Chain A
Amino acid sequence: SQQGEEDPQALSIQEGENATMNCSYKTSINNLQWYRQNSGRGLVHLILIRSNEREKHSGRLRVTLDTSKKSSSLLITASRAADTASYFCATGGHSGYSTLTFGKGTMLLVSP
């Protein structure tokens, strides 16, 4: 089954720096989504990139997708302390309604 796996597992940076998180998966996908989770809270959808797209932007977020390498990256530019959270990639199969397979996530700590 498709499976997202993020690296690094944890990332600690200073405010203003950029944070890059990577995700790899195993099988073909329809889309890949990034979610954010503050400690013990719900999942907030950040961005979706489809298999025929290579890059998407949303505010300070930039997501790339390389289907040949089965990998994606999430870049947060000019990070803020409020960006501190866990970030998960989730892959969706060939149906738009298909279930999501999540990775273990990257825990990002942004220090003031």
Chain B
Amino acid sequence: QQQVRQSPQSLTVWEGETAILNCSYENSAFDYFPWYQQFPGEGPALLISILSVSDKKEDGRFTIFFNKREKKLSLHIADSQPGDSATYFCAARGGGGRALIFGTGTTVSVSP
């Protein structure tokens, strides 16, 4: 059972465009949602995160939009750069706070 789902599986955008990555979850007890960026052969890096009490979080070119009622969130990468080409994972903290549950990832390619 996949508790955190991501779409699309892969995404290609032109440099300067906004990339939109989607994430949905099933457990209404999830209260913390980080996004991680991973380059091939490296460990994931925490990019931005949001708590379920907020509906939006911005950090530079990265913005999370959160809809608690629909159990959905999205990551917007504005003014995409070739250096943003990576796999992005959405994750959620379980109701008991004991585990981070990761989605299947979205691989983003930014073409110059």
Please determine whether chains A and B interact with each other in the same assembly.
no
Chain B positions near chain A (C-beta within 8 angstroms)? none
Chain A positions near chain B (C-beta within 8 angstroms)? none
